[in-house]
Amino acid sequence: MPINILMPALSPTMEKGNLARWLKKEGDKIKSGDVLAEIETDKATMEVEAVDEGILAKILVPEGTADVPVNDVIGLISEEGEDAAAVQTPAAKAPNQAVAAPAAPITQPAPNAAAASAPAASASKPAAAPAPEAHNGHANGRIFASPLARRIAKEAGLDLTAIKGTGPHGRVVERDVQSAIAEGPKPRPSAQPSTPARQAFVPGLSDEAVKAYFEPGTYDEIVHDNMRKTIARRLADAKQTIPHFYLTVDCELDALLKLREDINRAAPLNKDGKPAYKVSVNDMVIKALGLAIVRVPGANVTFTEAAMLHHHHADVAVAVAIPDGLITPVIHAADTLPLSVLSNQMKDLVARAKERRLKPHEYQGGVTAISNLGMYGIKDFCAVINPPQSSIMAIGMNEERAIVKHGAIVIANMMSATISCDHRAMDGAKGAELISAFKKLIENPISMLI
């Protein structure tokens, strides 16, 4: 029996993907771990690895195909001893065939739109009940998972029944467990009756109603890609479900700019004769927020329905603009990294983010985030929290301002910073402690090096 190659869920927010290209062709021998294809998700271009051995018998979805739903069959692998040339393309489902309920990822605000179809009854035995097919890694009480996935899940204390399998026939494989670890703890299922899946966007004017306000021919219509759809859905959900409050401070930057200049001047040269690092103001802002959030008890937290997660280190996400959207690579344990290491990590993440080459663990999670629009001349703004983060710091431009210092009016380099906080995770006083600690580190930057 041929093995289905399914369109995998390569990120928690993925509902559809674009099959960019096949790296194997029909007739090629496949080994476990071979890279079969490249998939463009809403965040990055990812490689799909084989989890079984055999021969790539048929390619069902040609490369270049857009919006392929998660769990759709994109190819077939013939097993050992099976004639690859004789493998038949799966028949299209009849209109009245039963379809399983949509599978919704429980850690994201919006349900997954992909649905898995129930197995068809045998044509030769119409009266016989169809054999249950493994879905989401389990059927009839049995969990289908690879040995490596079982071991990793056991070590991480994860329940395999709560993990959606993307391997053949819904089997849970290593990448599924790693994604579950990156996503963090799952919220409790709601005791309320299930409701229909929400629309991707907030209900409002229909497309036709919006277009009616404008004369035909006066605009160009560009269809949303997966990234824009995901941004629209997640941030609309965030504003509806997370109670935001905002706190702003003005920070004097003169000492920080002087320290940055000294650090960069002291940078050793690498083998190419170039400085080994070049620290930016944004790098120092990341470091300051990472230190501030671990130094304020109760600020380095994530809210769940059942408990508050208190983190040991500060994973700081940083908003990066890419063509037609944005992505938030994460600096893990930013509070522990020297500025030179943090700076080089950030440059590498930004470069690969713009090429859509980040791996899921490099842009998922984080307890807080930074959005810096100072380079666009923005003085201050309020950013939207991106779940599961509990805060986000909005950074404005560096500008010279007249301030009162020691009873005299002087000119200083100033920057406004506004933190958006999840009121479920921290109260106003705790948020004020956090942004005050950030301001102190920015204005006394030498303390970042101690």
Active site residue 423: yes
Q: What is the CATH number of domain 229-449?
A: 3.30.559.10
H or E segment to which residue 134 belongs:
none
Question: What stretches of 62-127 adopt beta strand conformation (E)?
Answer: 65-69, 73-78
- Residue 434 CB neighbours (<10 A): 25
- The gap from C-alpha 325 to its chain's centroid, in whole angstroms, comes to 13
Query: Which pLDDT score is estimated for 66?
Result: 83
> Mind listing the pLDDT tens digit for each residue in 227-259?
888 888 888 999 999 999 999 999 999 999 999
Query: Which pLDDT score is estimated for 164?
Result: 82
Q: What is the CATH number of domain 3-83+136-183?
A: 2.40.50.100
Domain range summary for the chain, segments of one domain joined by +: 3-83+136-183, 229-449
Contact (CB, 8 A) for 185 and 309: yes
Query: Which pLDDT score is estimated for 391?
Result: 97
Contact (CB, 8 A) for 346 and 318: yes
Length of the chain as a residue count: 450
Give residue for tokens 């501030």.
292
Give residues with Cβ within 8 angstroms of 241, minimum separation 6: 109
- DSSP string of 335-373? GGS-HHHHHHHHHHHHHHHHTT---HHHHS--SEEEEE-
Say which of 169, 311, 313, 423 is annotated catalytic: 423
| DSSP state at residue 312 | S
Helix axes 281-295, 254-265, angle to 10 degrees: 110
- Residuewise pLDDT in 10s, the chain (450 residues): 678 888 887 766 677 888 888 998 888 888 888 888 888 876 677 888 887 888 888 888 998 888 888 888 888 888 766 665 666 666 544 433 333 333 333 333 333 333 333 333 333 444 444 444 444 455 445 577 776 777 787 777 787 788 888 876 677 877 888 888 777 655 444 444 444 444 444 456 888 889 999 999 999 999 888 788 888 888 899 999 999 999 999 999 999 999 999 999 999 999 889 999 999 999 999 999 999 999 998 999 999 999 999 999 999 999 999 887 899 999 999 999 999 999 999 999 999 998 888 988 899 899 999 999 999 999 999 999 999 999 999 999 999 999 999 999 999 999 999 999 999 999 999 999 999 999 999 999 999 998
Q: Among residues 314, 289, 318, which one has the least CA distance to residue 302?
A: 314
Query: Which pLDDT score is estimated for 185?
Result: 57
Query: Which pLDDT score is estimated for 50?
Result: 83
Three-state SS at 376: helix
**What single letter denotes the amino acid at residue 372?**
N
Query: Which pLDDT score is estimated for 89?
Result: 63
Query: Which pLDDT score is estimated for 87?
Result: 63
* Residue 412 bridge partners (DSSP): 401
Q: Among residues 44, 47, 21, which one has the least CA distance to residue 34?
A: 47
> Mind listing the pLDDT tens digit for each residue in 12-55?
667 788 888 899 888 888 888 888 888 887 667 788 888 788 88
DSSP-derived pairing of the beta strands 368-372 and 391-405? parallel
- The gap from C-alpha 46 to its chain's centroid, in whole angstroms, comes to 13
| DSSP state at residue 135 | B
d(CA 223, CA 357): 23
